[in-house]
Structure 1
Amino acid sequence: MGRKKNSSTSIIDDINKKIIKILHKDAKASLKEIGAEVGLSCSSVGERIKKLEQLGIIRGYSALIDEEMLGFPIIAIIAMQCHSPQKEKDLLQKLPSESAVRQFWNVTGDIDIYMEAAFPSMKELNEFLHKLYDFGKPSTSIAINKPCKTFSL
Structure 2
Amino acid sequence: MKDGNLDDVDREILYRLQRDARHTSSGDIAAGMDVSASTVRNRIQRLEAAGIIRGYHVDIDYEAAGYPLYTKLVCTAPVDEREELVRRALDVPGVVAVREVMTGDENVYINAVGRDHDDLNRIGRELSGLGLRITDEVLIRDEYVRPYRGFHDRERPD
TM range (shorter): 0.7 to 0.9
- Deviations 1:89-110 (CA, angstroms, capped at 9, x unpaired): 6633421211311111232322
Equivalent residue for 1:3?
none
- Runs (4+) off by over 4 Å: 84-90
Letter in 2 for 1:19: I
2:50 pairs with 1:51:
no
2:19 pairs with 1:25:
yes
- Give the secondary structure class of the aligned counterpart of 1:97: coil
Structure 1 residues 25 and 85, CA gap change in structure 2 (3 angstroms): closer
Higher RCO (C-alpha under 8 Å, 6+ residues apart): 2
Structure 1 residues 125 and 43, CA gap change in structure 2 (3 angstroms): same
Give the Cα–Cα distance (whole angstroms) in 1 for the partners of residues 9 and 81 of structure 2: 45
* Structure 1 gaps, min length 5: 1-5
* Structure 2 gaps, min length 5: 151-158
TM-score in terms of structure 1 length: 0.81
Structure 1 residues 52 and 141, CA gap change in structure 2 (3 angstroms): same
Counting aligned pairs with the same residue, the percent is 27
Equivalent residue for 1:113?
108
Structure 1 residues 55 and 95, CA gap change in structure 2 (3 angstroms): same
The answer (yes or no) to whether the contact 1:101–1:116 under 8 Å persists in 2 is yes
Is the radius of gyration larger for structure 1 or structure 2? 1
Give the Cα–Cα distance (whole angstroms) in 2 for the partners of residues 106 and 130 of structure 1: 20
Alignment: residue pair count = 146
Structure 1 residues 75 and 49, CA gap change in structure 2 (3 angstroms): same
Equivalent residue for 1:103?
97
- Give the secondary structure class of the aligned counterpart of 1:57: coil
Give the Cα–Cα distance (whole angstroms) in 2 for the partners of residues 88 and 34 of structure 1: 39
Give the Cα–Cα distance (whole angstroms) in 1 for the partners of residues 86 and 32 of structure 2: 42
What root-mean-square deviation, in Å, do the aligned CA atoms of Structure 1 and Structure 2 show?
2.3
Give the Cα–Cα distance (whole angstroms) in 1 for the partners of residues 29 and 11 of structure 2: 12
Once the two structures are TM-superposed, the CA of residue 86 in structure 1 deviates from its matched residue by 6.9
